[in-house]
Amino acid sequence: MRRIGLTSDEDVPCLGQGTWNMGERSQSRDDEIRALRVGIELGMTLIDTAEMYGDGATETLVGEAIAGLRDQVFLVSKAYPQNASRDRLARACEASLRRLGTDRLDLYLLHWRGRIPLSETVEAMEALRRDGKIRHWGVSNLDTDDMIELLSAGGAVCVADQILYNLTRRGPEHALIPWLEQHDMAVMAYSPVEQGRLIGDQKLATIAAEAQLTPGQLALAWTLRQPNLVAIPKASDVTHVRENRAAADVVLDRVTLDKLDAVFRAPRGPVALEML
């Protein structure tokens, strides 16, 4: 699988695994764990979660899924904005580590911006990095102006911004994605299939059929066309995992891209970053 440079000496697969809403239904637990494990076998070794997901239940499920596989996984979690202060971030991180059954996170993200100054969050993240609790840190749901402020607050070592980006949410293409590329920060695209809603889009289905892909594969392959981007779709069963994995090998031709552009238009000016 194509890999994305996260730092000068570390890369990650362009296709990872999201876990939003996993671990919240006991009847789905075995299938979800099996899906994550098969994804790891297929090279989707970046797994993204958050303390918010299921109020910690998702991290617990991820910890169970990666048991015995920890060294194969690039593990990402996210902290609530109210926990991003000097005195609370360390406690939030320790709680995530316990639920995940590990001694470190590969990447720790501020889930979205709150009232705590970015300079304080940078300081708290750097303290965790020095203590070996996290290897890298980044942010999520921060727009271009926020990123500029983060940089001025000492955040030059931020490695990624996790954002909502898909065919129906193309606003980041105007300014944010170019800014992140210019500053050597990776884009992490969550909900690349718009939480499954794109699968039911008839125009997308028509273009996908012409390209001999499923609508989900086409939407995912389109997102992955960005060179500095990691997509993190969620898949709760093995069939869906395999379908997602196949999309990482798709190279879309110009004709298909033009058809998609005609239906899902690129922004012509600034668009505020959207969130789900």
Looking at the annotation, which residues are catalytic? 53
Residues whose CB falls within 8 Å of the CB of residue 139, separated by 6 or more in sequence, listed in order:
109, 110, 113, 146, 147, 150, 155, 158, 160, 161, 162
Separation between Cα atoms, residue 31 and residue 23, nearest integer Å: 10
For helices 254-263 and 215-223, what crossing angle results, to 10°?
100
Whole-number Cα distances in Å, 210 to 115, 119, 133, 193, 200: 48, 50, 48, 19, 16
99-132 as b/e, with b when 16 or more CB fall inside 10 Å? bbebebbbbbbbbbbeebebeebbebbeebbeee
Asked if 239 and 233 count as a contact pair (C-beta separation under 8 A), the reply is no
